[in-house]
């Protein structure tokens, strides 16, 4: 189903009004053409190749938005140059794309708004120093535009935390959609800074709903994760061939729900749509211990576990979980603060690693558990604009809460993506 009919589809199938007046009833909405301001913060080129796939998708839909920034915010080796690499593919297809819409940004416009963000973890306070990326978030948010700035966070949330620290006045202009599950565990201090100091920020904390993009739903025939790419992406311009070169030509695109969310009614996260449906968050789970924990200590999955353990000043220290290291922060006379966010429901074991003998090779454990199915019935008064995955088990795909609110639309959003990729390969008068 091409995008031009999607508005009709949602209106008829879901009984929704897509009129701008209703969409922006409680906050500023899109411009007269229905366009929202969007800035993407991505770890492309870093930990997970799926950001390359999501960036291809975003660029073939970029005529629908006022794209204000592309920020590299990695927790691995990804850098600004990886964004520019995708823009090179877009430039090759741009002559075709522009025949379908004159609202596609030019390649040079995209290059001009591509910025380097934080490349180091904000281990202690949750922020480090201003970056080109965090400064750009502030500059965009300060613009004289009544519309909010939607920041789609595909990687670490350090640059958002930095921007909020450097200029808290921008908070009311920001709308953050955070693909949190795989990224929050690398940004625990930045996440904690935002949650503790800006609990009224408008934010969608998508810990597991995003998985509906590639898990479950209708995967028959050409809708399979591999067969779809082979049938509808391969050979569709430079962008299609570039997409094929990542993850073995198999769909993941875990960040893409943040983009398709913007194609619905983003002012209201409780409305159904291709980017998921969300509920008001309950109080954000966090436990702090001044001792090593055991399996008897339970924390909600995707909650924040903190261990504050004594140790001498000046040592290096980290927490090792599943062979991954998470740096600890010095707490001065109190010792060291170790943070970890479990992204699966199970029993976990860990050990410490440190240059200080008394803090090295300590072992502990804990258990992470799912939230209660009725957790959303107790929304947090402290977090009035915080949204998260629906804990109702009716919307669970395997262990992944909320994923069904995305994958129920799998055929629709993939058919639409297939139509969009035709634009990369053909002019509007030569569609095949």
| Closest by Cα among 37, 312, 374, 65 to 176 | 37
Q: Residue 431 has what pLDDT?
A: 63
Cβ neighbours for 168, distance < 8 A, ≥ 6 positions apart: 198
Burial code of 127-151, b = ≥16 C-beta within 10 A, e = fewer?
Answer: bbebbebbbbbbebbeeeeebbbbb
Element (H, E) at 38: strand 37-42
Stretch 345-361: mean pLDDT = 97
Q: Answer whether 67's CB lies under 8 Å from 113's CB.
A: yes
| Closest by Cα among 230, 274, 222 to 250 | 230
Structure-token pair, residue 426: 């053909």
Q: Residue 31 has what pLDDT?
A: 62
Q: Looking at the predicted structure, is the pLDDT value of residue 405 above 70?
A: yes
> What separation in angstroms does the CA of 77 have from each of 42, 72, 82, 175?
12, 10, 10, 27
pLDDT level of residue 76 (50, 70, 90 thresholds) = confident
Q: Residue 1 has what pLDDT?
A: 33
The DSSP call for residue 397 is B
Q: What is the mean pLDDT of the chain?
A: 91
Q: Looking at the predicted structure, is the pLDDT value of residue 276 above 70?
A: yes
Q: Looking at the predicted structure, is the pLDDT value of residue 432 above 90?
A: no
Range in 47-51, 125-129, 207-211 with the lowest mean pLDDT: 47-51
Element (H, E) at 412: helix 410-425
Structure-token pair, residue 49: 């190749």
Handedness of CA 418, 423, 426, 427 (dihedral sign): positive
User: Which domains are seen in the chain, by residue range?
Assistant: 3-282+374-425 (3.90.245.10), 286-369 (2.60.40.10)
The pTM for the full model equals: 0.92
Which tops the pLDDT comparison, 60 or 33? 60
Q: Residue 364 has what pLDDT?
A: 98
Q: What spatial distance separates the first Cα and last Cα of the chain, rounded to whole Å? A: 16
| Closest by Cα among 395, 417, 416 to 406 | 395
Q: Residue 430 has what pLDDT?
A: 75
Stretch 153-160: mean pLDDT = 96
Q: Looking at the predicted structure, is the pLDDT value of residue 19 above 50?
A: no
Residue 106 neighbours by CB distance under 10 Å: 12
Q: Residue 238 has what pLDDT?
A: 97
d(CA 314, CA 262): 46
Range in 3-7, 188-192, 267-271, 411-415 with the lowest mean pLDDT: 3-7
Q: Answer whether 266's CB lies under 8 Å from 149's CB.
A: no
User: For the segment 191-224, what is each residue's pLDDT rounded down to a tens digit?
Assistant: 999 999 999 999 999 999 999 999 999 999 999 9
Q: Answer whether 128's CB lies under 8 Å from 117's CB.
A: no
Stretch 166-176: mean pLDDT = 98
User: For the segment 235-253, what is each residue's pLDDT rounded down to a tens digit?
Assistant: 999 999 999 989 899 999 9
């Amino acid at each position: 189903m091409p995008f031009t009919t999607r508005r009709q589809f949602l209106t008829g199938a879901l009984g929704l009004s897509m009129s701008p007046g209703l969409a922006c009833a409680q906050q500023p909405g899109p411009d007269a053409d229905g366009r929202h301001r969007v800035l993407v913060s991505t770890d492309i080129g870093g930990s997970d190749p799926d950001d390359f796939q999501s960036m291809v998708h975003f660029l073939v839909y970029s005529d629908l938005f006022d794209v204000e920034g592309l920020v590299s915010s990695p927790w691995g080796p990804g850098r600004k140059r990886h964004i520019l690499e995708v823009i090179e593919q877009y430039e090759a297809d741009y002559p075709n794309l522009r025949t379908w819409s004159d609202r596609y940004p030019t390649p040079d416009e995209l290059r001009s708004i591509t910025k380097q963000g934080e490349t180091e973890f904000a281990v202690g306070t949750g922020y480090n120093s201003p970056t080109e990326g965090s400064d750009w978030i502030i500059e965009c948010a300060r613009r004289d535009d009544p519309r909010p700035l939607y920041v789609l966070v595909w990687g670490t949330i350090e640059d958002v935390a930095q921007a909020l620290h450097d200029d808290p006045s921008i908070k009311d202009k920001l709308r953050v959609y955070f693909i949190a599950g795989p990224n929050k565990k690398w940004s625990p201090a930045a996440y904690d800074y935002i949650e503790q100091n800006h609990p009224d920020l408008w934010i969608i904390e998508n810990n597991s709903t995003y998985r509906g993009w590639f898990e479950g739903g209708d995967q028959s025939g050409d809708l399979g994760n591999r067969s779809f790419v082979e049938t509808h992406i391969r050979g569709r311009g430079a962008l299609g061939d570039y997409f094929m070169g990542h993850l073995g030509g198999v769909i993941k695109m875990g960040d893409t729900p943040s983009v398709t969310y913007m194609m619905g009614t983003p002012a209201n996260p409780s409305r159904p749509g291709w980017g998921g449906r969300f509920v008001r968050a309950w109080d954000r789970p966090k436990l702090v211990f001044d001792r090593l924990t055991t399996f008897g200590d339970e924390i909600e999955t995707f909650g924040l576990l903190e261990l504050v353990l004594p140790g001498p000043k000046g040592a290096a220290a980290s927490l090792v979980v599943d062979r991954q290291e998470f740096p600890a922060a010095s707490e001065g006379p109190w010792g060291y603060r170790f943070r970890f966010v479990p992204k699966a429901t199970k029993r976990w074991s860990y050990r410490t690693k440190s240059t200080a003998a008394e803090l090295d090779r300590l072992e502990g454990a804990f258990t992470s558990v799912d939230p209660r199915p009725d957790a959303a019935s107790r929304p947090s008064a402290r977090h009035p604009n915080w949204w998260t995955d629906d804990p109702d088990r009716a919307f669970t795909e395997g262990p992944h809460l909320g994923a069904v609110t995305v994958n129920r639309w799998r055929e629709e959003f993939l058919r639409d993506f297939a139509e969009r990729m035709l634009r990369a390969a053909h002019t509007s008068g030569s569609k095949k």
